[in-house]
Structure 1
Amino acid sequence: MRSDTLLEELGVNGLGEVDEPAFSGLAERHRRELHVHCYRMLGSFEDAEDTVQETFLRAWRRRDTFEGRSTFRAWLYRIATNACLDLLAKRRPEPATGGEVRWLQPYPDRLLDELPTGDTDDPETVAVARETIELAYVVAVQHLAPRPRAVLILRDVLGWPAKDVAELLGDSVNSVNSALQRARAGMRQHLPAERQDWTGGEDDAGTRELVRRFSDLSVASDVDGIAAMLRDDVRCSMPPTPGLYVGRDAVVNDWKEDGFESMTGLRAVPTSVNRQPAVAFYQWHEREGAYLPLTIDALRISGGAITEIVTFHADRFPRLGLPERLPADGTGQERHEQPQ
């Protein structure tokens, strides 16, 4: 929405004349896309929520500075980006290292569905929106220094001109272009060489069948069966628990050391996060008479094999809209499911 249209709609000559409810109504239209932008910058769903709230507070306090040279939406993005940079300087002065991001949190697909559709007929636009929210991309971004990170997201994801990014950051166009090249090089270090290797790909029958098999084998605690589904260079992490395991043998050995083979009373619920297939696991608790949240496995699948598993703790279930418990299956007993 252009600034003149915005002000005409409100019947005022400037944002300084807008009352708080009207201003909040305008800002709320952009909440979800701003939240996703902050999530890409920060890697944390909760930090992104805090930053969007800070963005709206700053926007209201600085409404007199809106000069109409850009859209109201672009103005909010400027404020949100600076709020992210301020938070990064305060909470995480150093970027991630070693391939893992301990503050990483999943983003529920049901909330991504709230994003403005825009030009959905453009395949490249659709691909960029999907691929840049996947966990592999978000993790790689967290390894960049904050300012190059902002440049990369503003230029490559949002498609901002270099001069607009330079103005936002108080830098020169040459500096922005240089930062973009460094950021792209940094991303190549943390992503597989080919795009099709790191994107989760489209939802198809083969992927759904693989996820079903993974769910069944997990419920049966069949480690060897799951191992056969893993690519040789599979990666496995469990933020915020430290540790990144790379390679089938390392991943399987970690599962066995943690006693995964002896787990019983599991149930699996298919879901999706970050435009990737995921499985929520519940475990039977006799005292509660129900299955309670255990973990969520987000899967990256390529070439018919699992190439990455990111496991999140039970505290993520509410954010993902998952049930807080599952009832017994009618017999009052836990159900022991077996792979087919």
Structure 2
Amino acid sequence: MGSPDETIAVRMDESVLDRARAGDDDAFELLVGPHRRELLVHCYRSLGSVQDAEDVLQEVMVAAWRALDRFDGRSLRAWLYRIATNRCLNHVRDASRRPRAAEIPAWAGVERADDPWWLEPFPDAWLEPASEGPEARYDDRESIGLSFVAGLQALPAQQRAALVLRDVLGFPAAEAAEILGSSVASVNSALVRARAGFRPGRTPDRIPLPRTPEAASLVDRFVHAFQQGDTAAVVDLLSDDVRLSMPPEPIQCDGTRAVVAYLRARGFWGPGLQVVPTAANGQPAFGYYLPDPASDRGRLHGLIVLTVSDRRVTTITRFGGVDIEARFVLPSSLPPSDDAGARRRE
């Protein structure tokens, strides 16, 4: 028998559930509100796109509202994950009809990207610790890293779902099977195949953590060299096998020489560049601003996310898109500044 506090909590939940079933919007929000953020992260891991994740989450909330009468009252979280996982599976199947990515430009050192072209950055401000089970194999930060999410996109839908439910969220096999509407044997089989085929990237996003003093110093030096257009200093901070990718452009450059040549040719660095530091996918990032010929202000041109490992920058991922400004709460423009260091938000 549970404690008095647990008994009161159960009664409150039952009361809220009864009101929600009767059509009370506020009661429904009390039920599902605490799970919204982790469900959004779950959809993002599964789909790789913030926009797709937000759209699917809205579908999940509508489906949950309509199906409340069929909820057995046992585990609300598992029930919501079942709806979300199946909506994501449906979306992945529909996404097979996505238009093909654009052709890559004829540029020396440029290759077709390994990462999915629809990959989008996830703001750290939207993250919160997940409710991981004892069988989770990946920690929160590792499982939201760009290379991890990109690697998931290469898995077949059912394998992807099994790996996320079991190894990321730590659901027991029986509970994962119930969420997927499958058998334990089928889930375990999908998980074995997923683990064998999962390739989360050449450069793990986990060592060292972006918030360590060592990594922060490295990022500051990189940003300073980037703003100055100091080729020698930038090269000194890059790993020999550094990779640059630029979703949604389906291109990548591998190796220091190709990456530096492409960045210089495209005008992504040098005097006049301004930055606003932020964080995405548990990694250091910055919005970058280039001079606007039509005004004296710097205009937001995109977001750059860095992977830091072994005391070097190992991956540079540049994102464009109109949603960067809103999602990362970045100003659309900056006044001219002579400060070569990173511009800090007040």
TM-score bracket, shorter-length normalisation:
0.7 to 0.9
CA contact (8 A) 1:264 1:336 kept: no
| Corresponding residue for residue 159 of structure 2 | 148
Letter in 2 for 1:271: T
Residues 218-256 of structure 1: CA deviation (Å, up to 9, x unaligned): 112223421221111211100001112222233223234
Over the residues paired in the alignment, what is the CA RMSD in angstroms? 3.0
**In structure 2, the residue corresponding to 1:243 is in which secondary structure?**
strand
Distance 1:144 1:259, change over 3 A: same
1:170 is aligned to 2:181: yes
Instruction: Work out whether residues 20 and 60 of structure 1, in 8 Å CA contact, stay in contact via their aligned partners in 2.
Output: no
Match of 2:66 in 1: 61
Partner of 2:316: 309
Asked whether the equivalents of residues 16 and 30 of structure 2 are also in contact (C-alpha less than 8 Å), the reply is: no
Whole-Å Cα distance in 1 between the matches of residues 250 and 259 of structure 2?
A: 14
Q: Partner residue of 1:332?
A: none
> Pick from 114, 119, 124: which aligns with 1:109?
124
The structural deviation recorded for 1:63 is: 1.1
Q: Secondary structure in 2 aligned to 1:318?
A: helix
Alignment of 1:291-302 (within 5 A): 291-302=298-309
Alpha-carbon offset, residue 200 of structure 1: 4.8
SS at match of 1:132: helix
Match of 1:8 in 2: 14
Aligned partner of 2:92 among 80, 88, 104: 88
Partner of residue 337 from structure 1, selected from 319, 326, 340: 340
State how far apart, in whole Å, the 1-side matches of 2:153 and 2:216 are: 29
Which residue, 244, 253, 263 being the options, matches 2:252? Answer: 244
Distance in structure 1 (CA, Å) of the matches to 2:321 and 2:14: 48
* TM-score, normalisation: structure 1: 0.85
In 2, Cα distance between equivalents of 1:93 and 1:200: 37
Maintained 8 Å contact 1:200/1:276: no
CA separation of 1:34 and 1:150: change in aligned 2, threshold 3 A: same
User: Do the aligned partners of residues 44 and 11 (structure 1) sit closer, same or farther apart at CA in structure 2, a change above 3 Å counting?
Assistant: closer
Name the count of aligned residue pairs: 323
Q: CA deviation at 1:323?
A: 1.6
Q: How does 1:173-184 map to 2 (within 5 A)?
A: 173-184=184-195
C-alpha distance in 2 between matches for 1:93 and 1:178: 27
Give the CA deviation at 1:180: 0.6
The AA in structure 2 aligned to 1:86 is N
C-alpha spacing 1:321/1:206, structure 2 compared with 1 (3 Å): same
Q: What SS does the corresponding residue of 2:64 show, helix, strand or coil?
A: helix
1:281 equivalent to 2:288? Answer yes
Give the letter for the 1:212 counterpart: D
User: 1:39–1:338: structure 2 CA closer, same or farther, 3 Å change rule?
Assistant: closer
> Do structure 1's residue 23 and structure 2's residue 28 form an aligned pair?
yes
Q: Tell me, in whole angstroms, the C-alpha distance in 2 between the residues paired with 1:118 and 1:156.
A: 13
Question: 1:152 deviation in Å?
Answer: 0.4
Task: Name the aligned partner's letter for residue 222 of structure 1.
Answer: D
CA distance in 2, matches of 1:283, 1:155: 44
- Secondary structure of 1:311's counterpart equals strand
| Partners of 1:157 and 1:298 in 2: CA distance | 23
Aligned position for 1:233:
241
Question: SS of the counterpart of 2:289?
Answer: strand
Alpha-carbon offset, residue 338 of structure 1: 7.8
Q: Secondary structure at the match of 1:129?
A: coil
Which residue matches 2:46? 41
In the alignment, structure 1 segments of 5+ residues that lack a partner are: 330-334
- Separation of aligned partners in 2, 1:269 and 1:257: 22
Structure-2-length-normalised TM-score: 0.83
Matched, 1:135 2:146: yes
Aligned residues: percent identity? 40
Cα distance, 1:139–1:231 mapped onto 2, change above 3 Å: same
CA contact (8 A) 1:230 1:248 kept: yes
Q: Which runs of 5+ in 2 are unaligned?
A: 1-5, 102-111
Q: Following the alignment from structure 2 to structure 1, what is the Cα–Cα distance between the partners of residues 16 and 341?
A: 61
